[in-house]
Amino acid sequence: MGKIFKNDVSVLFNNNPISEDFHLYECGYEECKPTKPYEFVPIDYWVIHYCIAGEGIFQIEDKQNHIKAGDIFMIPPYTKNKYYPLPENPWSYHWIGLRGKQIHKLLSMCGLSPETYIIHNELDTHLKNLFEKIYQEFQRERYFKSISTTFLLFDYLGNHLRLKQKAELSTTEVYFNAILNYIHKNYADNISISDIATANNIDRTYVFKLFQKYLKISPSQYLQQYRLSKACTLLRKTSLSITDISYTVGFQHAPYFTKLFTQYIGETPSEYRKEYMRFGEDSFS
C-alpha cells in the first residue's frame, strides 16, 4: 500500500448518484494503529471491507469474528457493529460504500448478505488490486471507471471465490447442493423424495437427514414452499388461471394447491392476485 498511497488513512465521497439502483458512495483505505474497541453508529448504506494485512475483530449482531489478511467483511445498512485491530498485529484494509435499490441483490450474487457477513480467504493480489483501482479512479473523479471496476470486483467475488469455496465443500454440502439443484430444475414435474434420492444416488433417509441438518425442515416442506414461491411469481406476472398455475408449478390437484397456498401465504390465490392488481407490481419484491 505504501507505494501507492501517501497517508495512513483516506476516505473519498461522491454525493451525486448516477442511478437510484447503484451508487458508489465512498471508498477508502486505512493502515490502522492499535486502538481500544468502540462501537460505530449504524449507517444507511452498505460497506465492504477487504483486509490486506494484519488482524482485527469484527463484531456484528453480538457475534465476534476474527478477521485476518485476505478476509472480506460487510456491514449492511442500519446494523449495529463494532470492529477494531488487534494490538499486536493491527490490520490494514480497503473499503467501498454502496447505496441503491439493487445493492442487496448484487451483493447476494457475490456471496454476501445480511446472513453472510464474511468471506474468509487467503490474501488475493488481484482482489487487492481491484480495491486499489476503485480508489484511484474515484480520486481522479473518473466515476464510470470506478463503477466499472466495482462490477469487476463483483464478478471476481461471484465467480472465482465462489468456485474456490465450492471446491472446498464437504461431501454432505456437495450432496445437499446437488439435491437443491435437482429440485429447482424439476419442481414442475410430479417428483417424489424417492426420485430426488435416486437422481443423486443416495438413500431416502439420507435426503431427510440433509434437510434436517441444513434447513431444519423436511424435503417435502421445502419442495412445497419452493413451488408456492414460483406460484406467487406466476400470480403476479401472468394471466394464467389458478388451475393452470397449480399444474405449472407441480401440483396435481388445484383444490389442494389452493388449500396449501392459503395455509402458507395467509390468503387464497385469487385474493393474492387481486391485491397485486390493486397496488401494482412495485408493491411486491
Q: Which one of 2.60.40.10, 2.60.120.280, 3.40.50.720, 2.60.40.1760 gives the CATH number of domain 9-167?
A: 2.60.120.280
Write down the pLDDT at residue 151.
97
What does the pLDDT look like over 97-122, one tens digit per residue?
Answer: 999 999 999 998 888 887 789 988 88
Mean pLDDT is lowest, of 52-56, 60-64, 70-74, for 60-64
Per-residue model confidence as pLDDT tens digits over 221-273:
999 999 999 999 999 889 999 999 999 999 999 999 999 999 988 999 999 99
- The interaxial angle of helices 171-186 and 219-237, nearest 10 deg, is 40
Same CATH topology for 9-167 and 171-283? Answer: no
Report how far residue 98's alpha carbon sits from residue 230's, in angstroms, rounded to the nearest whole number.
30
Q: How far is CA 255 from the centre of its chain?
A: 36
The Cα–Cα gap between 37 and 44 comes to 22
163: region left, alpha or beta (phi > 0 left; psi from -120 to 50 alpha): alpha
Alpha helices in 200-249 (DSSP H): 204-214, 219-237, 242-248
| CATH of the domain spanning 171-283, picked from 3.40.47.10, 3.30.420.10, 1.10.1740.10, 1.10.10.60 | 1.10.10.60
Are 1 and 29 in contact, with CB atoms under 8 Å apart? yes
Give pTM, 2 decimals: 0.59
